Amino acid sequence: MTARPALTRTFALLLAAVAPLALSPAMAADAAGTTATTKPANAPVLGTFGVDTAGMDLSVKPGDNFFAHVNGTWDKTTPIPDDRASWGMFNTLTELSNTRTRAIVEEAAANPAATGNSRKVGDYYASLVDEAAIEKAGLAPLKPELDAIAAISTRAELSKAIARGNREGGPAPFRMGIAQDAKDPTRMTVNLVQAGIGMPNRDYYLAANFAPQKAAYQAHVARLLALSGVPEAQAKADAARIVALETQIATAHWTNVENRQAEKRYNPVAAAELPAKFPGVDWAAFRSITGIEGEQTLNVNQPSALAGIAKLVETAPLEDWKAWARYHTLRSYSPVLPKAFRDETFAFYGKTLTGTPAQEERWKQAVNLTTGALGEAIGQDYVARHFPPEAKAQMDELVKNIIAAMDIRLQNLAWMDAKTREAARYKLSRFKPKIGYPDKWIDYSAMQVVRGDAYGNLRRAYAFDTNRDLAKLGKPIDRSEWFMTPMTVNAYANPTWNEIVFPAAILQPPFFDPKADPAVNYGGIGAVIGHEITHHFDDQGRKYDPDGKLSDWWTPGDVERFTKLADVLVKQVETYEPLPGKRINGKLSLGENIADIAGLNIAWDAWQMSLKGKTPAVIDGKSGAERFYLGYGQIWRTKYRDAAMERQLTVGPHSPGNFRPLTVRNHAPWYETFNVKPGEKLYLKEEERVGIW
């Protein structure tokens, strides 16, 4: 993981999984268990074999637009809900997961006799939905923080404020995080990471096409400051200074593409050298206040960015920094401030940046915040209610088959040298899948929750999480830890631990249904599992050796041949234009696109192996191969509002979900299955298709 944003428990994993998807209305009803018709007990949730064929558009040839062929009717008839920037399968399952989680937390909140984790969960949630108490408190809970910012009068005090922001969850222009040392994965180290801007990335400040969003951001900053009591004229002047300061910070930031390069983010610096290399910050005070004074070496993820930010700490007017800190404190704590603050924050971050018309209901916000603070406390109940042992057993078996298929592909990889290939197979043999939920749960006994104190609970949750991280320094690595909750509809690959992690909530239709046709499951969850495995061998994951160490374990010839194949994929993807004049960034999305192609290849191989030479029966006129690809295409049901699509293209490491089914055009069996011929829009000559793994 890397450093966390203020006041969130989001672990920014090195290589996260896929983007949101979606279901047709009938399909969503099936997934939620609310269909009007009664199905046989052994029937799949979706359709007769696990695919929502009603969502297809058979008037579109697979070779012209595979997404539309599989999902066209769904795309035409399914609206994006008002409180969503995009809509798809991930969102649908997230709604289901949130509803289930709500039942757990509301039961806890309503039980006055609850003790232990249940009491903490109930009190935390009850405090968030008690909007009357939050309104009555107003800004009073935040007054000590705001007063401390107003009292800053020297550069030394500014440095101390930045340190406290890192330690306690307040604003800071760079973030501290605890993670494994990439070149010594037996130890934890402190990372310093660029931060300090309120918009998604540097492009929003520096690119001319984002000028409207930048102007809207400045207006939002002024309104939020005015809500806090700053006179309107001063609020507008402060907002202009804040945006000017953040533009300077953004200029120092690395681009998203630069940040993908794992070896460039590894820059150990002796603690004693910090003042000389990054002057402008009182590093002795920073280390003391954050509790890392015992660490003799820190890793600086973006050295030039930290140098630029440190210089601004030394030279930018103190009043600019104080205005900046006030705004970011208000924004960060807006979830537990009166409704006017939440509404203003949503007006920019929801409506302007993603085009979302309506804010989520308060219970959804409260569920998300409670999950962020006490995720594994809730997760234990969630797993007991919604993830039966037999589902885990079936998933364990499917994962074994996918890993076996990957091993066979490695054995027959023509472009890789024999020595490197054997090392890659060894890396795969050391691979650890985590399915459903952790073997060991987080102990929350040290976390204090007070019913009625939403603001205090949020601060204490951050402090608890930070203390857990700091306690890892100097200790053996606990590889049992998870960085997603069981209720999370997602998955991730962690190359330093050589593992993939699949929470329980994603292991549902259409990704995985024990009663669906196996071809559909292999095309669905099988391809996603293959995707995550391949992240250990994509353009960045390949840089980590079998022990999770960042190292050059490939020969120069391997790297050259791999890069040539990857470059072809970059060019292929950059022909896709989701919005007029807006193409997919092939370099930014390269790792995910490599994983998509390889995941499909591996899932196909694993499915073929599972058949043991038998030909699967035709079901509803669909061959087994057709069902495999329909299962794959179905999981990518996704649609976006234009602003959300633009944001995805600018900052997202994934290609938009509705373009990910185009992966099939690189897969030879797809051409045979659907009789795709030259002249059809997706047709690629054999030499133009990209395989890699």
Q: pLDDT band at 36, cuts 50/70/90? A: very low
Complete DSSP assignment for 607-664 = HHHHHTTPPPPPBTTB-HHHHHHHHHHHTT-EEE-HHHHHHHHHH-SSPPGGGGGGGG
Q: How far apart are CA 435 and CA 403, in angstroms?
A: 14
Helices and strands per DSSP (H, E), number in the chain? 28, 10
More reliable by pLDDT, 26 or 594:
594
Count the alpha carbons within 13 Å of 238 in the hemisphere toward its beta carbon. Answer: 25
Q: How far apart are CA 376 and CA 502, in angstroms?
A: 15
Q: How far apart are CA 496 and CA 266, in angstroms?
A: 13
User: What pLDDT, on the 0 to 100 scale, is given for residue 39?
Assistant: 66
The angle formed by the CA atoms of residues 629, 633 and 638, to the nearest 5 degrees, is: 175
Name residue 16's beta-bridge partners: 492
pLDDT tens per residue across span 198-235: 999 999 999 999 999 999 999 999 999 999 999 999 99
Domain range annotation of the chain: 139-336, 389-432+520-693
Q: Could you tell me the two tokens for 167?
A: 């330690």
Domain 389-432+520-693 is of which CATH architecture?
3-Layer(aba) Sandwich (3.40)
CA distances from 667 to 562, 587, 675, 687 (A): 18, 21, 13, 12
Q: How far apart are CA 593 and CA 581, in angstroms?
A: 21
139-336 fold? Neutral endopeptidase; domain 2 (1.10.1380)
pLDDT tens per residue across span 267-312: 999 999 999 999 999 999 999 999 999 999 999 999 999 999 999 9
Asked whether 260 and 591 are in contact (CB, 8 A), the reply is yes
Q: Could you tell me the two tokens for 502?
A: 């699949």
Asked whether 552 and 608 are in contact (CB, 8 A), the reply is no
Strands 297-300 and 184-194, bridge-based pairing: parallel
Exposed/middle/buried for 244, CB within 10 Å: 0-12, 13-18, 19+?
Answer: middle
pLDDT tens per residue across span 608-653: 999 999 999 999 999 999 999 999 999 999 999 999 999 999 999 9
Q: How far apart are CA 530 and CA 597, in angstroms?
A: 9
Q: How far apart are CA 298 and CA 3, in angstroms?
A: 13
For residue 153, the Cα-to-chain-centroid distance in whole angstroms is 39
pLDDT tens per residue across span 467-478: 999 999 999 999
Q: Could you tell me the two tokens for 188?
A: 């934890």
Q: Could you tell me the two tokens for 629?
A: 């690809």
Strands 432-436 and 499-503, bridge-based pairing: parallel
CA distances from 362 to 119, 128, 343, 356 (A): 20, 8, 11, 16
More reliable by pLDDT, 319 or 5:
319
DSSP 532: H
Lowest-confidence region among 221-230, 352-361, 384-393: 384-393
Query: Among all chains, which residue has been given the structure tokens 């200029």?
Result: 251
Q: How far apart are CA 326 and CA 147, in angstroms?
A: 9
Q: pLDDT band at 41, cuts 50/70/90? A: confident
Kindly give, in sequence order, each residue whose CB lies less than 8 Å from that of residue 507, ignoring residues fewer than 6 positions away. Answer: 387, 391, 395, 435, 436, 525
Name residue 60's beta-bridge partners: none
More reliable by pLDDT, 32 or 511:
511
Asked whether 177 and 340 are in contact (CB, 8 A), the reply is no
User: What pLDDT, on the 0 to 100 scale, is given for residue 40?
Assistant: 75
% of residues, the chain, pLDDT over 70:
94
Q: How far apart are CA 281 and CA 275, in angstroms?
A: 7
On the question of a cis peptide bond just before residue 510, with omega within 30 degrees of 0, the verdict is: yes
Exposed/middle/buried for 458, CB within 10 Å: 0-12, 13-18, 19+?
Answer: buried
CA distances from 681 to 61, 145, 230, 276, 381 (A): 10, 58, 57, 58, 49
**Mean pLDDT across the chain:** 93
CB atoms within 10 A of CB 60: 17
CA distances from 64 to 68, 298, 682 (A): 9, 52, 5
Instruction: Say if 139-336 and 389-432+520-693 have the same CATH topology.
Output: no
pLDDT tens per residue across span 48-60: 999 999 999 999 9
Q: pLDDT band at 100, cuts 50/70/90? A: very high
Of 106, 297, 78, the closest CA to residue 188 belongs to 297
pLDDT tens per residue across span 248-265: 999 999 999 999 999 999
Name residue 622's beta-bridge partners: 619
Q: pLDDT band at 42, cuts 50/70/90? A: confident
User: What pLDDT, on the 0 to 100 scale, is given for residue 391?
Assistant: 87
Asked whether 371 and 101 are in contact (CB, 8 A), the reply is yes
**Is residue 16 over pLDDT 60?**
no
Asked whether 321 and 153 are in contact (CB, 8 A), the reply is no
Of 400, 422, 426, 410, the closest CA to residue 606 belongs to 400
User: What pLDDT, on the 0 to 100 scale, is given for residue 38?
Assistant: 59
Task: Give me the mean pLDDT over the 426-431 stretch.
Answer: 94
- According to the 3-state scheme, what is the secondary structure of 475-500? CCCCCCCCCCCCCCCCCEEECCCCEE
Query: Among all chains, which residue has been given the structure tokens 């929750």?
Result: 449
